[in-house]
Amino acid sequence: MSNVIDRPTSIRSGEEIDGQKVLEFLKDNISGLDGEIEILQFPSGFSNLTYLVKVGDREMVLRRPPFGRKAKTAHDMGREYRILSALKPVFPYCPQPLVYTEDEAVMECPFYVMERIPGIILRRDLPKRMELNAKDARTLSENLIKVQCQLHSVDYVKAGLADFGKPEGYVKRQVEGWSGRYRDARTPDAPDFEKVMQWLHDKMPGESELVGLIHNDFKFDNAVLNPSKPTEIIGILDWEMATLGDPLMDLGSSLGYWVEKDDPESMQTIRQMPTHLDGMLTRKEQFALYGELMGIKSDKFDFYYCFGLFRLAVIAQQIYYRFYHGQTKDQRFEMLMVPIKELEATAQRVIEKSDL
């Protein structure tokens, strides 16, 4: 199934990088590189920019921060490189990191380079010529939860990541932090989300008994599938928001992306991944499987799902803010107000039906 492997395209206007400077840097820091450089861009994603860098027959991936406004703690290339370096030996789904630099002489920002994991990455719909029957769709969605549980079960102390975050008070910091970020990034055309933020504040559960390393953007389009066995996950990408915290909040963030087959048409229009296929686990089935695998019980599904919806809206609003204020030329961002409003409406429906 090599014809469905995720492939880069030409670089978007305004996001070009100096290939000759990158080539000189790479040859100085990675042994065995020989040949000319070719740089393309992976077109998906709304945050850090990701490029395919080919030198001869060697394929690597370069990550750099976006152009324009940057949140204070986001887009930390050094932090992302550090977690990959620490995790790779104990969580084999990580890409192999190769080199990191803060020398702004190369491209005026910190960046790092890692090995490419070639494979299938699911976007809104399955790639052409790829099919998943109901049984395979179920297996794949179960495997996504299983890999997330593997991550949450990593001994982060042994991995050298004990100082990677502050688990104590994590749930409260997340609710208050994302609320503050939404208010800071709100534009005049955005919904206020005040009712949702108040509900999340009022319904905050206590900390679960779990503390783990969490990805914070764990979803299908950050997973790489085996081209010869598409139900198998072989890589997890985009570690920029990873930290230590309550893993149930990580699961809630994942649920926020999950649009089911029976969700309203308005939700189907903002679906980003093929989570609607026959056989895919429902959100509640995912929550139940996670609890079974991790050995915990929770009746707070509504809170975690609502948090996931809100957090996703905040991310979209922060990106839209950059477009609204002319800080990016990426025309994809212009349409983000549609999903932001739909996410608020969906969160409101969760609240209205909740028994919490």
Summarised one tens digit per residue, pLDDT across range 181-224 is 999 999 999 999 999 999 999 999 988 889 999 999 999 999 99
Contact call for residues 304 and 249 (beta carbons, < 8 A): yes
- Helix (H) / strand (E) element for 322: namely helix 301-324
Instruction: Return the sign of the alpha-carbon dihedral for residues 266, 269, 271, 276.
Output: positive
| Contacting residues for 348 by C-beta, under 8 A, at least 6 apart | 195, 196
What confidence score (pLDDT) does residue 69 get?
Answer: 47
Rounded CA separation 260/138 (Å)? 13
Position 113 scores a pLDDT of 97
Q: What interhelical angle do 247-255 and 170-185 show, nearest 10?
A: 40
Residue 13 has what pLDDT? 83
- DSSP class of 207: P
Residue 161 has a pLDDT of 95
Q: Which of 11, 3, 15 is nearest to 329 (CA)?
A: 15
Question: What pLDDT was estimated at residue 70?
Answer: 54
CA separation for the pair 84, 240 (Å, rounded): 10
Question: Would you state the pLDDT for residue 72?
Answer: 45
Q: Where are the alpha helices (DSSP H) in 91-225?
A: 104-107, 134-152, 170-185, 194-202
Task: Give me the pLDDT at residue 68, please.
Answer: 61
How far is residue 230's CA from residue 109's CA, in Å, rounded to a whole number? Answer: 36
Give the whole-angstrom CA distance, residue 106 versus residue 204. 45
User: What pLDDT shows up at residue 71?
Assistant: 45
pTM of the complete model: 0.91
* Separation CA 245–CA 215 (nearest Å): 10
Domains belonging to the chain, first-starting first, are: 2-115 (3.30.200.20), 134-353 (3.90.1200.10)
225 with 141: CB under 8 angstroms? no
- Residues in the chain, pLDDT under 70: 1-4, 44-46, 68-75
